[in-house]
A and B are shown apart, each in its own frame.
Chain A
Amino acid sequence: MSVLLAADVSVAQNVGFYIIAAAMVFGAFRVVSANNVVHAALWLVIVLAGVAALYILAAAEFVGVSQILVYVGAVMVLFLFGIMLTRAQLGVERDLNNRYWGAAIPVALMLLVVLAWAILDAFDDQTMPDPGGATPTQAIADNVLSNSLVPFLALSFILLAAAVGAIVLARKD
């Protein structure tokens, strides 16, 4: 796979992808290995912002903006509130892992090997078409409000139920 040398592949797009991907993989490692819960949350911001950047690189700019709004904006604030409400002391903590955390390494490695083998077997040397500009948001709106209208309504009810349920669970009665 001479990825950077192929004639039908945009070099700038690939270089941008690899820079973002390296930052994301390192951030993901820090999320699962940091000894400080707040640091883990801040590394998660790197990963989520990188995912948003890759959406924009794949011409899905509305999804990318939604990712920043929902994940980097709302979900991270929820996480930080969760950390603050459930922890007495901030700072380095030594017992964030299970006793048998070492068993998770071969599980994750075997999963990665199987997934990578399947992906390379199915999609090796298959190039993506050049997107040729951003995806029009109108097309997404047309699809949401016509083909997948029922899932959209169901999602509305899920969000309503989740909001009410979270209030009921978390309030002090």
Chain B
Amino acid sequence: MYAVNYLLLGAVLFSIGVYGVIARRNAVLVLMSVELILNAVNLNFVAFALMTSTIDGQVFVLYVIGVAAAEVGVGLAMVLLVYRNRRSISLDRLSEMKG
């Protein structure tokens, strides 16, 4: 299999995730787009691990999965807190810190 298959698919998923992060206003959908980005990166790690015939890439993917799980937990708790205080999770209305 050609190496560019995995890498190009990772690039496409990454770009779609970046589009979602910028375009979405719902905080939960932004977190989902972040998951798309992280999975695109993981796909590249596994592809490089296969290309170099080493196992470090796979171990790194396991770490990224663990950190992503922690990120989703804390992120959704924060979204829940914002919703409880504002009755809305639209990110473009959270402008109190604008100078």
A→B interface (CB under 8 Å): 1, 3, 6, 9-10, 13-14, 17, 21, 24-25, 28-29, 31-32, 37, 40-41, 44, 47-48, 51, 54-55, 58-60, 62-63, 66-67, 70-71, 74-75, 78-79, 81-83, 85-86, 93, 95-99, 101, 103-105, 107-109, 111-112, 115-116, 119-120, 123-129, 131, 135, 139-140, 143-144, 147-148, 151-152, 155, 158-159, 161-163, 165-167, 169-170
Contacts and interface: CB of A to CB of B under 8 A. Distances in A.
B2 A96 contact: no
Contacts of B8: 116, 119-120
A10 B2 CA distance: 10
Contact of A151 (B13, B28, B63): B63
Given A66-B62, A128-B51, A170 B70 contact: no
B97 interface: no
B4 A120 contact: yes
Could you tell me the dominant secondary structure of chain A's interface residues?
helix
A28 B80 contact: no
Contact of A162 (B6, B74, B89): B74
Interface residues of B, number: 69
A167 B78 CA distance: 10
Interface string B1-45: 111111111011111111110111111110111011001001100
A123 B7 CA distance: 9
Contacts of B70: 158-159, 161-163
Given A51-B42, A86-B80, A107-B18, A127 B12 contact: no
Contacts of A9: 1-2
Contacts of A129: 50-51, 53
A149 to B, nearest CB: 11
Interface of B: 1-9, 11-20, 22-29, 31-33, 35-36, 39, 42-43, 46-47, 49-51, 53, 55-56, 58-59, 61-63, 65-74, 76-81, 83, 89-92
Nearest to A108: B19
A38 to B, nearest CB: 10
Contacts of A83: 28
A112 B18 CA distance: 10
B19 A107 contact: yes
Contacts of B55: 135, 139-140, 143
